Structures are given as C-alpha cells and as structure tokens.
Structure 1
C-alpha cells in the first residue's frame, strides 16, 4: 500500500511541477495562444518565451495561420512551467513530431523572443538569426513589437 501511494505521489508531483501532458489542439486563438483538449476539458495554453504579432498587426494573421498549420487538429505534447499568466492561461511549449512550435514561430520570423518573461539564450539566438536572415516580420523596415503595439492601442483609447 505504501509503495502504491508513493508511486501515485510521484505521478501527481511530476504533473504538478512540469505540467507535461498530451492533448488534441482544438483551437488556435492567435499565433501564441492555443486551446488543447485534455481529458475532455479545453485548456488554454499561452506559448512560453515568445510573443506573436497581434491579429490586427502586420504578420499577426500569418503567425496564427502558421500555428494552425503546425498543430490544429493534431495530438501534441504540452510542456508547461506550472504557472498561469494574468489571464488564467497555462504557460508552456507545444511539441508536434518532436518539433517545438514556439521555436518554429521565432525561427520563421513570426514571433519575438519575449525577453520580459524569458531569459532563454536559445530563443534569443533564434530571434537574432531570423533578424539577420530577414525572414517573416523582420523583412519590414521597422517592425513593432506586440507589447509596444498593445501599449499604443491602450494609449489611443485612453486619449479619446
């Protein structure tokens, strides 16, 4: 009995700490927010380390389409950090066929490395490489980071 309880404890502890699970992507809200069905319950996932352009921002729809092509309707592995953002979305990385959606978005110039919330050198390097190659949004003369885009929209509303 003690052995069974210990094994159950390890399984539950591992799930709570790492939040790793497999589920089917049933929704793509935008480039960096997916809905994954896990045990018949929808779980909203905010992609960790990155920030994609907003839908009404240049490359916003391309980022959403890329994410949709990558994983919509597919069974994926979600590796979460065990935390939620201020909107109640679980934060994590999504993998399909051993490819990391978060990294592919940055590699293809469809997301920024979100340095405010991520200190990952790997994501920083991916963004630097995409900028040098001028892929995706890095083709624009002066791309606007999504956090600045959102801030400018909030300021416009406040000044009305």
Structure 2
C-alpha cells in the first residue's frame, strides 16, 4: 500500500468513527440501576441506555441502591443528551450521557458510586476520578473490601456451577 492510499484509509476510518456516533435527546422515564436507564425520544421510541466506561454495583451488592438513587436524582424525568457509540449484546445503547452540562460517568465516579470500567476504557480522567473518590472514601469506597461488579458477577457464576 502506498503512503497516499494509507493516509486516505486512515482519514476514512477517522471520519467513520466520528460520524458513527449518534446523538439522541430524550426524557429519562425509568432508572433500571446505577448505570442503566430508559430514554423516551421525541418520536416516542423507548431506548435502553447503558452509561459508558463505568460499572455500578449490581443489585445485590452494597451501594447498589445508593448508585441507583444518585442516577435517579441526577437524570430521572429530565431531558438528557446521549451520544451512542455502540450496542451491547443485550441491545442496550452504550453511550455518553450528558445532563445539566455534566457527564454522568464522571459524576458517578466522583460520588464514589461506580468503578472505571478499564476493560472497555483507558480514559485517564475517569481513572483519576475513581482514585480521588477512593482516597477520599466516598460512596462505595467506605467499604475497604468493595468488590468490582465484574468480579462479583464472575464469582456469582462460579457459585452457580
């Protein structure tokens, strides 16, 4: 491949990644848990949204209810902007969520109600927010033995077998 063709290919890939994100606005009509909610769009489409780059405690984990309440207080019954960049295996939109000029992923991390999901994100800002919350013992970081949701899910699967 010649240098010019390579640069054209890189440019096309960049443009595709920029324009493959879709921005949706709508009203939050239900909170499923700390990192998942339902959005009703202007055309009455109901979309399940999973907040990008973080993972909140699972339903039976400590701080699950507080994470859900935080998300509810932040966005329930409000209009939000969602930047979807992919769908997960459950059909949910994985998205950046913005409300009141805030990023929900960052706010959950600052409050100590989520882990930075490093398996899917290498965002250094999000990692720093988690570290600050942890060092200040905010939210779930009050528990010195807090178990990340992905580890909790894995342990739960092992117990079933």
TM > 0.5: yes
Counterparts of 1:14 and 1:130, CA distance in 2? 32
In the alignment, structure 2 segments of 5+ residues that lack a partner are: 1-15
Counterparts of 2:65 and 2:154, CA distance in 1? 19
In the alignment, structure 1 segments of 5+ residues that lack a partner are: 1-12
Partner of 1:146: 149
Q: Secondary structure, in 3 states, of the residue corresponding to 2:74?
A: helix
Counterparts of 1:92 and 1:138, CA distance in 2? 25
Root-mean-square deviation over aligned CA pairs: 1.6
Q: Number of residue pairs matched?
A: 145
Deviations 1:39-62 (A, max 9, x none): 201101111000000011000110
Counterparts of 2:82 and 2:154, CA distance in 1? 30
TM-score by length of 1: 0.87
- Runs (4 or more) in structure 1 with deviation over 4 Å come to 13-16
Deviations 1:133-154 (A, max 9, x none): 1100111121000001111111
Deviations 1:101-132 (A, max 9, x none): 11100111000000001111111111011111
TM-score by length of 2: 0.86
Partner of 2:4: none
Give the 5 Å matches for 1:96-107: 96-107=99-110
